[in-house]
Structure formats: structure tokens, C-alpha cells
Amino acid sequence: MAKGGHSRPGALVALLEQRLCEYHHSKYCVAFATGFWSLVACLRLKALNAPEVIIPSFTYRRLADVVFWAGKTPRFVDVDPGTLAISPKAVERAISSKTGAILAVHPIVNCCDVGALQGIAHDHRVPIVFDAVESVHETCEGRRVGSFEGAEVFSLHASKLINGLEGGYVCSDDREFVARLRRFKTHDATSASLQEPGSWIPSEMPDLHAAFALAGLDEIDLNVSHNQRIYRAYQARLKTVPGIRLRAFDEAEQTSFKNIVAELTDRSSCSRDSLVQQLNHNGMLARAHYSPPLHTRSYEFPVSCPDALPVTESVAARFINLPCGFRMKEGDVSSVVDVIEKSLSMDSGG
């Protein structure tokens, strides 16, 4: 521990940054007040002097707002039907002289195609930022998420795998970029260097949140094994239920088993939304998965969506997030699947 001990202001944040570097096999880590502002900061510092940022439509509900706060226009593209993550082909088609950056998001189950996306970014000389919030514990082709080149963003919100109440951070291997990130969040507004309006964000993480996150980091294996038991229970029970298919974690990689996502298949005549309703009605916390897609929403700022998004349109109403997490016990899975089974058979029976 550095001089001054844990009570020195910023000491716990610094300790957390160091521990997160070890955890992610990352060179550098910079903590922010939230994941949202971490994303905004990365785009503000990385995007070229061009108006658009390419993002998936089937994703985290506030992603277009991130782009707006970074001073750019979101350009929505389609997802890949296999990964449900931003499609490298769609990104490549959308890149133009208007592209300032690509914001790729890891899906809730497994990872996006990091290699292909980095290749495209490199070939077109466009910066890429990864929203890696949902892949915090994962490896991608054997490599730890957080250890790739460039900028990978994570959240410590209470709903995420590492709970710091609220918080976010950026992992990077780029020393110069990291120095700019630090200036960006702590900058003294009265100093002359960064005077342009909106050029910095007061976004320091409080030490209290860092303390929570450090405790969360210590408990991660406990949480992952709990999540895995829940996942195994769903796997066993859902196998025999027609009309619904569990989205499988790629167990050749390290994963957190955190969120349970399932797809209603063509054999199911019960709609996803009525299944969510049935579960909620029974006091079970299920939610529509990334719905509605971002390009179908209305915004008070300009957005761009010149292409059709057929995959997004076809998956938007099919996926569901099933109840899971630390409040849920392994034994509770059975009653959830009972409700699913009943709902699916009721509707198809007419």
C-alpha cells in the first residue's frame, strides 16, 4: 500500500485499479464514476473528427445516449445471428468517411468477434472501443477480456458481476491514452489546457464504491460457482421443454454464467412478451432481452439507420432473460420452469 494508507483520498480507487489490472491481465486501468461515463470518455478521446459512431441496435438500452454525450451521431447496424453481437460484415458495410469510431458490445452470453472487428477497424483506420460490461469474467479465444489492445469498458453497477454499488472502468494497454483518460476525468476546469466546453467530465469514483468493488472482486469465484449451479439447473430442466432453447455458454472459454438467456423457438406459439408477463405475474423476475431494439425507439437527438436490420428485427421478440442471480436458489429453478412449461403449453393449446 502506498504512503498514507487506505484512508488517503483516492487510495482505495488506486488499489482497485491495480487489482483490476491483475484480474483482467491488463496493463492499465482507469476508474470512473459509472460505466456510462467511461464509455463517453473513451469515445470523446478516441473518435476521429467525423460525425458518426457505429453501434449495434440490439443491445444495452442507453448505448445511443452514450454516443450522443460523446458529441456524435449513433449509426445503427445489424447483429450476427450466431453471436447476437454486432456483425463484423455490417460494420464493414457501414464504414464511410463519416465514421468516427466503432463501439462494439459483447453480448450477454459469450463474446463478439473481437478479431474480425479489430481487423476491420485496423484496415479502415477507424478507432474501436469495446463495451465489455457483460463479459467481465470471460476469455475470448483463450485471452482474457480486458487484455486486448485499445479500450475495453466495464461497469461496477450493483446489477453487474462485480458490485461496487456504482462505478466503471477502462482497461487499456495504451499508456498515452490512459494518461489522457486520467486528465479527462480529474481536469481542473479553470486551467487553460482543456477549455473547450464539454471537453471533460467530472467523473471520479468515490473510495467507498472502490471498497465495495474490492470486496466484490474477492467474492467473484463464489458468485460464479453459484451462477453455474443455477445455469446447470436450467440446462437440466429446459432440455425437455418444447418451444424454448437455452442460450449456451461456450465452456471452452472462461465464463461467469451470470445471465440466463433463452430463445422461444418457432414451435412456441406463446409470445415472448406473454411469457415474461406470466413469470412476473408469479413473482419471478424475467425480462425481455434487449427489447425494443434501439433503432425502433424515438430520440431527441439525431440518429442514423440507413440500412435494413433484418437479423435484429427477427431476434428482437424472441429472447428472454430468465430469473437468476444471488437472490435465486438452485431449487427455485424448478418452479420457474414449471411456469414456463405451463405458459408455453397453454398458448399452443389455443
Ligand X SMILES: *Cc1c(COP(=O)(O)O)cnc(C)c1O
Question: How remote is the C-alpha of 17 from its chain's centroid?
Answer: 19
Q: Does 35 bind ligand X (CB under 6 A)?
A: yes
Nearer CB in complex with ligand X: 168/243: 168
Binding mask 141-170 toward ligand X (x if CB under 6 A, else -) reads: --------------x-x----------x--
3-state class (DSSP) for residue 61 = coil
Q: Which stretch binds ligand X (CB under 6 A): 22-30, 129-137, 174-182, 227-235?
A: 129-137
| Shortest Å distance, C-beta 134 to ligand X | 5
> Cβ-closest residue to ligand X?
35
Q: Report, in Å, the least distance between residue 242 CB and ligand X.
A: 31
Separation of alpha carbons 256 and 161, rounded Å: 8
Beta strands in the chain (DSSP E): 28-32, 52-56, 73-77, 99-105, 128-131, 139-140, 143-144, 151-155, 168-172, 244-246, 260-264, 287-288, 319-322
Nearer to ligand X, 84 or 244 (CB): 84
Q: Binding ligand X by CB under 6 A: which of 34, 118, 223, 255?
A: 34
Phi, psi of 188 (to 5 degrees): -80, 115
What character string, x for contact with ligand X (CB under 6 A) and - otherwise, covers 163-202? -----x----------------------------------
For the bound state, the minimum distance from the C-beta of residue 36 to ligand X, rounded and expressed in Å, comes to 3
Nearest to 108 by CA among 250, 233, 285, 310: 250
Pairing of strands 260-264, 319-322: antiparallel
In angstroms, the CA 34 to CA 39 distance is 9
Residue type, 319: F
Minimum distance of ligand X from residue 302's CB (angstroms): 21
Which of 20, 24, 30, 36 lies at the binding interface for ligand X (CB under 6 A)? Answer: 36
DSSP state at residue 47? -
Nearest to 295 by CA among 75, 40, 39: 75
Q: Does residue 293 touch ligand X according to CB under 6 A? A: no
Strand, coil or helix: what is 69?
A: helix
Query: Binding to ligand X by residue 74, rule CB under 6 A?
Result: no
Contact characters 78-117, ligand X, x per CB under 6 A: ---------------------------x------------
Query: Is residue 247 near ligand X by the rule CB under 6 A?
Result: no
What single-letter DSSP state applies at residue 80?
P
Applying CB under 6 A, the span of 127-135, 194-202, 255-263, 338-346 interacting with ligand X comes to 127-135
Work out whether strand 28-32 and strand 52-56 pair parallel, antiparallel, or are unpaired: unpaired
Site residues (vs ligand X, CB under 6 A): 34-36, 60, 105, 131, 133-134, 155, 157, 168
